[in-house]
Chain A
Amino acid sequence: MSQATERTIDRSQMQVSDEVAIQITGMNKWYGTFHVLRDIDLTVQRGERIVICGPSGSGKSTLIRCINALEEHQQGQIVVDGTLLSSDLKNIDKVRSEVGMVFQHFNLFPHLSILENCTLAPIWVRKTPKKEAEEIAMHYLTKVKIPEQALKYPGQLSGGQQQRVAIARSLCMQPRIMLFDEPTSALDPEMIKEVLDTMIELAEEGMTMLCVTHEMGFAQAVANRVIFMDDGQIVEQNEPKEFFKNPKSDRTKLFLSQILGH
């Protein structure tokens, strides 16, 4: 179990409000005949930091990919920031520009410089003037501690740096919710920490975050809720302390013993 950080975490801004950020009710999804997500009900309040864990193939990635319509759900409702996700493309584009997403494999655009990666969406989606977009981009690149790499190309950066650029790129759209799909799974151990630190800083500023991750140290330090999924269902959710100390379900116990036991 890798520790997330040595420093103490500033919890003053980490406040969960009553406002609903994401509301998922009775959501089902199938890949062909395979029932990947079953009866998902989930309400995310603004300011929540949720860690979703579970064995591979349990549907955790699919769940967060449904939230910005990268995957289509077949049944039930997903409401993000008051916008109902339907087949209406306008709603989908609206949700996507409000929700940032960080991928396991970074998915930076290799033909664009770091700065261009960060300014592309603000310029073309938000119609921000180029100069202003570049200022915003530099602000966030400074925040993830790589302003000096702005003119390089993604291929010239290390994995950890690329992932931090990917986080900055999402932040440039000034999203109200951030989704993380196993952001550290493709990284070397020494790079995991720099990415987790960036995520912790984000949490300290009160960002609403949903993270699919196996970093249980991060979950204990930052999350206000841990969700355990198995077989496309939410099996158990709790505060991190209780979740790790007193898991209720047998599946959770088995999973925790497997990932914490070595």
Chain B
Amino acid sequence: MLEVLNQEPFRFLLTFGALIFLVLNLAAVLTLAERKVSAYIQLRYGPNRVGPRGLLQPAADVIKLFTKENIPLNRADRWVFLLAPAFMFLPAVAVWLVIPFSQNAVVADLNIGVLFFVAITSIGALGVIMAGYGSRSSYSLLGALRGAAQMISYEVPLILSLLGVVMLTGSLALSDVVNAQGGGFWNWYIWPQLPMFLIFFISGIAEVKRIPFDLPEGESEIVGGFMIEYSGMTWALIQASEFAMMAVVSAVTATLFLGGWQPPLPFLDLGAFNWLWFAIKTTLLLFVFQWIRWSIPRFRMDQLMDLGWKVLIPLTLIWIFVTALWMLIF
């Protein structure tokens, strides 16, 4: 009976449904994790009233946000304003389509997976500009312009830092990238590509607008930036897609540089349950995101642009050269 579900249209529908489920739950868990991690870093307890140890806090938040009014603005461009959350949510789910969770366990294994990731994440910048411009508010517009400058500046090092991995693999498919890293943690691309790994992760943080790169939001100066006019469920969708994008960047980093679902040592192979390794690596990277958030203060705008154009891009170009030379000699 269950065999039917392995057949084509049903497999796609089922895995896609699982993906939506995964993304929504990730967003929920990450909102709780954000508050819990920040609380423990600051020696507090964090949310601990709703459910055991505050575990049901996200559910309470969802109910609350569903029953809050979405306040319409007088002057806003209504359709741009309302469609912006959809354009921010789209990349947060779509990138998961090409990420292999385990051997062959992928929704649609495109042979240009790396390129797909790069192309789809740029849609997020469009969502930010739509949100900021459509609200017709000064703070929103400031946030959106900053967001646009930041996201296009950091997209260049993000793409360039992928090239080393692509060169070593000789393929753009994420499944090939993971398969090439099998056999133990010494085969992971983090070792030959350590600078690229750091650059990719830093640009990833900038791409998802997290502290220390949260100038488009900047609560303490432009009070929320591009999402200042959103309320109720539209605001919840923007928040959810930000947290889900964080998970996407972690998952892609784990796939490209930390061996994806490959076990760290050959005898730890779990067969069909290798997705556990993928989950562990992604979770560790997510924790690093939050750790950085509560350790480093926000950049200034000129420092941010300098870091992107004068440090990260020259470094990636140098390391592409080094990788090419290394491949030529050995």
Is the pairing of A and B real?
no
Residues of B in contact with A (beta carbons under 8 Å apart): none
